[in-house]
Amino acid sequence: MQLSELKPGTYAKISDLSQIDRVIRRRLMDLGITVGEKICYKSSMPFGGPCMFESCGECIGIRRSEADCILVECE
């Protein structure tokens, strides 16, 4: 399922990042966020604005369309 489908505050495991934009994937990799890491969806901004998630002890903001490309598995 997509990251943005998670209920805010719940944790899941990243299962796929291959659909995401190259630059963003690189930056997420820099931050240690790779397949297999735990991720927690936190909140989103109105009018289709960006959303915030937490992974590897770090809060990160990305756009909704990108968050849709992060696939996760609930444990």
Partner 1 sequence: MTLEFALFGNPNTGKTSLFNLLTGSYAFVGNWTGVTVEKKIGRLKDNLGTLVDLPGLYAMSPLSKDESVATTFLLENDFSAMINIIDASQLARNLQLTIELLEFGKPAVIALNMLDVAKHRGISIDDQKLSELLNVPVLPVVARSGRGCHAVMETMAHLKDVKKSYFSLDYGFDIEKAIGSLESIMPDVKMNKRWLAIQYLEGNQVVVDFVRLSADSLEAARIAERLNRTFAGRSRSITAAEWIHHVRKRYINRILAKVVNKKEEASSSISTKIDAFVTNRFLGIPLFFGVMYLIFHATFNWIGNPFSNILDAFFSGPLTDWTRTVLEWMGVVPFIRDVILNGIIAGVGGVIVFVPQIFVLFFFISWIEDSGYMARVALVMDRLMQAVGLNGKAFIPLVIGFGCNIPGVMAARTIEQPKERLLTVLISPLMSCSARLTVYSLFAGVFFAKYQALVVLSLYFLSIVMAMIMAKIFSMFMKKEKSVFVIEMPPYRIPNLQTILQSTWDKAKGFVKKATTFILGGTIFVWLLSYTGPGGVNVDIQQSFLALACSSIAPIVAPLGFGTWQAASALVTGFLAKESVVSTLGIIYHASGDGSLNESIRQAFTPLQAYSFMVFTLLYIPCMSTVPAIKHEVGTAKLTLFTIGYCVILAYLISFIFYRTGLLLGF
DSSP string covering 1-69, please?
A: -BGGGSPTT-EEEEEE-TTS-HHHHHHHHHTT--TT-EEEEEEE-TTT--EEEEETTEEEEE-HHHHTT
Tell me the site size for partner 1, rule CB under 8 A: 31
Q: Is 38 in the site for partner 1 (CB under 8 A)?
A: no
> Which is closer to partner 1, CB of 2 or CB of 64?
64
| Smallest distance from partner 1 to CB 1, Å | 20
Q: Is 50 in the site for partner 1 (CB under 8 A)?
A: yes
Which residues would be at the binding site for partner 1 (CB under 8 A)? 18, 21, 23-24, 26-32, 34, 42-50, 52, 56-63, 66
